[in-house]
Structure 1
Amino acid sequence: MRPEIVLFGDSITEQSFRYGGWGAAIADTYSRKADVLVRGYGGYNTRWALFLLHHLFPIGSGTPPAAVTIFFGANDAALSGRTSERQHVPVEEYKENLRRMVQHLKDCSPSVLVVLITPPPVDEEGRKEYARSLYGDKAMKLPERTNEVAGVYATQCVDLARELDIPSINLWSKMQETEGWQKTFLGDGLHLTPEGNAIVYREVIKVFDEAWLSAAKMPYDFPHHSEIDAKNPEKAFEQLCLGM
């Protein structure tokens, strides 16, 4: 059976199979080698996501995932007292929730490759522009998220990965290495443009390649068509028949 790669996160993961999405690009890279499953839940924070763990990743499953990306924090970092405060999770709890997710996945399979991805940076002016486009004069006067606070959550995510000796992707820092990142990588001040999706894709693939999940080194699930003799096709499938 093909190994499974599960993308677990909030709306940035849920949208990852849209045109130009990072999840779609990963699925294309692993075509015929691994199944890429999107488990993204728009608006979710880590507190709510914990309720999904046993349903998405049941203990004792005979087919646990080979790899899981955990990409939360954009909603946890919503500011208390602002328009999205219902999504706010204190940063200490955020870190502990991520720890519980990783531990659950390791309980499912000690060999699972878990990759933590930090929240992206926040373009505060972009968030206000987006709110004005939706609500006009009734839009929020203050941004419901700030880049500074998102950076605090990103730091805790990276620190936890280091503590647990698992890989992480500091998307918050990586995106800000590019001048004009605000409009280049973020469409509404928070969610990703195709260029932003491309960064996530490249960083995830880099982690997979450095681990043991390089697509280039994985076999096809069934023989490549070039290996099939048109006059004697059954020969290419002999090993499959022996395993039946």
Structure 2
Amino acid sequence: MLLSSCSKWEQIFVLLSFLFFIFSSKKQERMRPHFVLFGDSITEQSFRPGGWGAALAVAYSRKADVILRGYGGYNTRWALFLLDGLFPPSCNSPPIAVTVFFGANDAALLGRTSERQYVPVEEYKENLKKIVHRLKELSPTMLVVLITPPPIDEDGRKEYARSLYGKKAAELPERTNEMAGVYAAQCVAVAKELGVPTINLWSKMQETTGWQKKFLSDGLHLTEEGNA
């Protein structure tokens, strides 16, 4: 199902609050509940000051642990290799909720500077399904939230490259907003097929005028306002 609200990150708070209510109402004794944030560098940076992951940790500090598992540069293909270590089949206390936030790297363009991260969109879809299935095998009641890649500010990506490499920077960006939208649409489709919630960050951010500079620090990663 596709969630919609005034704030994109509030959607996560609402879902987790509802799940925590159900979880805490059970009488059996168990260890402190925990959530896992699983994704690429956008997730990795979410514990920085003003980040959405840090906000979750503060909001649930007395109720649950929020565990960061963000891997800069990773795509869904590489994420599959992490599953056994992060979510082992023998786990006795699986997380009660997991956010799965991949796609920005999968959508890198062939023939550009980040092509090694590229994953074909059909494989991206299948990889997302594998991740969700693994999590649901651990716990059928686990809340799994898929988050689409954000939009891409192509001019922002070029400016960022020039700030790093000067005249040696590539003239063309390694990602485009159009391609990010293709992957975002498939993320939404997978969530609908599997019956799990999704946050369409790609669409939601672009509803705001001036989203390019307001929400993105380098054309890809989130500003403090982008985390709000």
The TM-score, its normalising length taken from structure 2, stands at 0.86
Aligned counterpart for 1:113 among listed residues 143, 157, 181: 143
The answer as to 2:211 corresponding to 1:181 is yes
CA distance in 2, matches of 1:32, 1:19: 19
Q: Report the CA distance between 1:60 and its aligned residue.
A: 2.5
Largest Rg, 1 or 2: 1
The answer as to 2:187 corresponding to 1:157 is yes
Aligned counterpart for 2:87 among listed residues 57, 60, 85: 57
2:182 alignment partner AA:
V
Q: Report the CA distance between 1:48 and its aligned residue.
A: 0.4
Aligned counterpart for 1:39 among listed residues 69, 72, 91: 69
CA distance in 2, matches of 1:27, 1:65: 14
Query: When you count helix as a share of all residues, which structure comes out higher?
Result: 1
Aligned counterpart for 1:142 among listed residues 169, 172, 176: 172
1:121 alignment partner AA:
P
The CA deviation string for residues 3-45 of structure 1, in whole angstroms up to 9 with x for no partner, is 1100000000001100111100000010110100000000000
Question: Which structure 1 residue ranges, 4+ long, deviate > 2 Å from structure 2?
Answer: none
Residue in 2 that maps onto 1:6 = 36
Aligned counterpart for 1:18 among listed residues 48, 52, 69: 48
What does residue range 91-240 of structure 1 map to in structure 2 within 5 Å? 91-198=121-228
| Contiguous gaps of at least 5 residues in structure 2 | 1-30
CA distance in 2, matches of 1:39, 1:84: 22
Q: Report the CA distance between 1:86 and its aligned residue.
A: 0.2
The CA deviation string for residues 206-226 of structure 1, in whole angstroms up to 9 with x for no partner, is xxxxxxxxxxxxxxxxxxxxx
The CA deviation string for residues 181-209 of structure 1, in whole angstroms up to 9 with x for no partner, is 000000000000000011xxxxxxxxxxx
Computed over aligned residues only, the root mean square deviation of the Cα atoms, in angstroms, reads 0.5
The TM-score, its normalising length taken from structure 1, stands at 0.81
| Contiguous gaps of at least 5 residues in structure 1 | 199-244
CA distance in 2, matches of 1:154, 1:80: 18
